[in-house]
Amino acid sequence: MPYLFTPQEVKAMEKERIDKGDTERDMIHRASMALCGWILPYIHSCHAPKVLVVCGSGNNGADGFALSRLLMEEQIPTDVLEVHTGTQTEENMYFSTDVPTLSTVPQFKEYPVIVDAIYGSGFHGKAPENIENLFDEINRSGQTVFSVDLPSGVNGATGQVEGKSIIASQTMNLSALKPGAFVFPGANFCGKISLGADISQSYTSNICAVDGFKLSKRTRRSNKGTYGTVCIVAGCKNMAGAAYFAAKSAYLCGAGLVKIVTEECNRQILQMLLPEAVLFTYDGQTPVNEILCEISSCTSAVVGPGLGKGEKQKELVFKILQSCSLPLVLDADGLNLTAGTNLLEHYKGSAVITPHPGEAARIMEMTVSEILSSPIDCLKKMCEKFPCTVLLKDAHTLIGKGDKIYVNLSGNDGMATGGCGDVLSGMIGALLPNFEDSAMAATTAAFIHGCAGDQAAKKHGKRSMLATHVLECIEDVLREE
């Protein structure tokens, strides 16, 4: 899994290199060489190549000026627009010397290639109105935009976009991959992401991008008990599908046995949909302690998909959190019922919670817009509050535990459909017993889930995808393992 480094961490890396004899100018020169090699193939493919490099006053602008010099040496028609973004740095001054710049803002549509070197990855907050207007003009041009390090307007540490931003066709992170390029909303502005002038190979970070998975091998001499019993506590009246999706996905991820604890009204449909599952059904008269005995005998449990928020369900969820200690996935209504309590903070076993932004807003007493504007900050707050693994669902789902954060890169918007979250919760429940670290179980499940979604999108198209299609593709992903 590749590490993602905050701008502050990259700055510390660069300082270490300078302390060992490297210079800022040498690093900017290497960055410009990487940028030139990245952009040139596209320029050569243009019918009438003409490049505009838009440079700010900082070292990101210095990268742009250095790049413009190399493009001119390659005989590429290149114009440079200088934008005042603050005090001009020494390196910006050096690389801009003798580089001719435009005296007025040009017609951006005249340039098939525009290079955004206005702000770097250290940017935060909002750009001044005149520069945001410039962003708008560049975005409206419809031309191909290459952003240096990150699209101007994106916070490199969090992906937050507080005002307006350049919308890049491609982005080259410099020195190291940055969280802001992979975490939404920033990821939405980056286009295709590359890495240039990498100096991060010998460093580690607390943030990783998830781009693969590894599962333990099944043993030849084994039985269903070897692979655990997953208890799916799910499904109220008219919500049998949630229990089915979670149970079926647990089986597809290798569970030895799946037990569904659900309302009596779901018995017939679940027995027809998934005859492999063992059922324990309850009604309003069933003692909660009897249900707890069924759950406690299992290897792991998934609590919440389509469960309902009635008094019986509330009592059951509270008792599970107070009395059980098996590895637990708390999802959907299981989370909603605990909002405003401290039950999760005192759970005795390892747990994974899987909120979408709405559920996260409820349990954190925040607004959905606050969650969506800076999910990485929200995840950190949740990890501080809850002593468990937190999986915050998003276009790039975030998984956190303690100070570790994982950014899942698989999946697509076709998965924004009913039932896909239930599929994921069952997968995590099946994998929990296979990992010592619950965060790795959740991370692995999220990546496989996204890969199954990507396979389903190829088969059915994103618009027509169903959770059933994602289920069907889990075995395709695991067959390739």
Q: Which domain holds residue 93?
A: 3-205
Do 269 and 190 fall within a single domain?
no
Q: How far apart are CA 86 and CA 71, in angstroms?
A: 26
Q: Which CATH number is 162's domain given?
A: 3.40.50.10260
Model confidence at 374: pLDDT above 70: yes
The percent of residues in the chain predicted with pLDDT above 70, rounded, is: 100
Distance of CA 7 to the CA centre of its chain: 18
pLDDT band of residue 335 (cuts 50, 70, 90) is very high
Q: How confident is the model over 402-430, as pLDDT tens digits?
A: 999 999 999 999 999 999 999 999 999 99
Residue bearing tokens 């089915």: 244
In a domain? residue 364: yes
The percent of residues in the chain predicted with pLDDT above 90, rounded, is: 99
pLDDT at 75: 96
Do 408 and 285 fall within a single domain?
yes
265, HSE (Cβ side, Cα atoms, 13 Å): 10
Q: How far apart are CA 303 and CA 58, in angstroms?
A: 51
Do 151 and 271 fall within a single domain?
no
Do 233 and 199 fall within a single domain?
no
pLDDT at 169: 98
Model confidence at 48: pLDDT above 70: yes
Model confidence at 283: pLDDT above 80: yes
The answer to whether the beta carbons of residues 398 and 375 sit under 8 Å apart is yes
Number of structural domains in the chain: 2
pTM of the full structure: 0.96
Do 256 and 175 fall within a single domain?
no
pLDDT at 188: 98
Do 336 and 307 fall within a single domain?
yes
**Domain stops at, among 173, 205, 237:** 205
Q: How far apart are CA 178 and CA 407, in angstroms?
A: 11
The pairing of beta strand 278-282 with beta strand 300-303: unpaired
**Domain stops at, among 205, 240, 259:** 205
Distance of CA 355 to the CA centre of its chain: 13
Do 242 and 134 fall within a single domain?
no
Do 293 and 178 fall within a single domain?
no
In a domain? residue 210: no
Do 167 and 257 fall within a single domain?
no
In a domain? residue 219: no
DSSP H or E run through 351: strand 351-353
Q: Could you count the other beta carbons within 10 Å of the beta carbon of residue 113?
A: 21
In a domain? residue 348: yes
Q: How confident is the model over 195-227, as pLDDT tens digits?
A: 999 999 999 999 999 999 999 999 999 999 999
pLDDT at 481: 64
pLDDT at 47: 87
Model confidence at 190: pLDDT above 90: yes
Closest CA to 383 of 424, 409, 355: 355
DSSP H or E run through 82: strand 78-82
**Domain stops at, among 142, 172, 205:** 205
Stretch 262-272: mean pLDDT: 98
The answer to whether the beta carbons of residues 447 and 421 sit under 8 Å apart is no
Separation in Å, CA 415 to CA 423, 440, 463: 11, 22, 9
In a domain? residue 212: no
Q: Which CATH number is 323's domain given?
A: 3.40.1190.20
pLDDT at 421: 98
In a domain? residue 218: no
In a domain? residue 216: no
Rounded to the nearest integer, the mean pLDDT of the chain is: 97
Do 237 and 157 fall within a single domain?
no
Do 201 and 307 fall within a single domain?
no
Q: Could you count the other beta carbons within 10 Å of the beta carbon of residue 265?
A: 15
Determine the straight-line distance between the first and last CA of the chain, rounded to whole angstroms: 16
Stretch 343-363: mean pLDDT: 96
Do 197 and 239 fall within a single domain?
no
